[in-house]
C-alpha cells in the first residue's frame, strides 16, 4: 500500500540542483503523489502520460519493436523526463540549465529506489 505523505517526502528529496518538480502518476495521467508546483505537475502529468501512451502504441510497430524505456522532452522553457515504474510513471522536470544526463541519472536512481516498494502494489 502507498503511504501518501511518505511518498511525497521522498519525491521532494529529488527537487534539488535545479529540478523543479518530481511526480508519480498513473497511466491515465492522474497524479498519485508529487512535489513542486502542483498545478504545473498536474498538467505535465496529463500531457506526458498521453505522449507515453502514443509512443507505446507504436512500439509494436515492426520498425521499432521495442518497449519504451524513457521519454525525454526538451522544451523552450525546460526539460521533462519520464520512466515507467511498476505500471506507474515517474517524472522529473527542470529548467534548461540542468544537464540532461544528470536529470536522467536522478530519475533512474529514484526509480530504482522506489521500485521495490511499488512492485508490492499488485493491482
Partner 1 sequence: MNPTKRKILLIGRSGSGKTSMRSISWEFNFKFMDCGGQDSYLENFFGSQRDRVFRNVEVLIYVFDVTRKDTEKDLNYLESSVFALSEFSPESKIFCLIHKVDLIPEEERENVIESYKEEIMKFLSKFSEILENPLKVTCFGTSIWNETLFLAWSKIVYSLIPKIQLLEEHLHSFCQICDAEEVVLFERSTFLVISASSSKTYQDIHRFEKISKFIKHFKLSCNKAHSPFQSMEIRNRFFTAFVDSFTANSYILVIISDPQIENAAISLNIQVARNHFENLVQKTRGNDDNALVI
Residues near partner 1, by CB under 8 A? 1-5, 7-8, 25-26, 30-34, 121-123
Which grid coordinates belong to 98? 540542468
Q: Where are the alpha helices (DSSP H) in 1-123?
A: 4-12, 38-58, 100-118
Cβ at position 109, least distance to partner 1 in Å: 22
Grid cell for residue 18: 535545479
Least distance in Å: CB of 12 to partner 1? 11
| Shortest separation between residue 78's beta carbon and partner 1, angstroms | 22
The four Cα atoms 112, 118, 122, 123 give a dihedral, to 10 degrees, of -110
Nearer to partner 1, 35 or 79 (CB): 35
Amino acid at each position: 500500500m502507498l503511504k501518501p505523505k511518505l511518498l511525497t517526502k521522498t519525491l521532494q528529496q529529488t527537487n534539488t540542483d535545479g529540478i523543479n518538480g518530481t511526480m508519480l502518476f498513473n497511466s491515465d495521467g492522474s497524479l498519485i503523489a508529487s512535489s513542486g508546483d502542483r498545478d504545473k505537475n498536474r498538467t505535465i502529468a496529463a500531457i506526458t502520460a498521453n505522449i507515453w501512451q502514443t509512443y507505446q502504441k507504436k512500439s509494436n510497430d515492426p520498425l521499432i519493436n521495442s518497449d519504451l524505456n524513457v521519454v525525454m522532452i526538451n522544451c523552450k522553457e525546460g526539460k521533462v523526463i519520464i520512466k515507467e515504474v511498476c505500471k506507474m510513471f515517474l517524472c522529473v522536470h527542470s529548467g534548461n540549465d540542468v544537464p540532461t544526463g544528470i536529470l536522467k541519472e536522478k530519475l533512474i536512481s529514484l526509480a530504482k529506489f522506489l521500485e521495490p516498494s511499488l512492485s508490492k502494489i499488485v493491482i
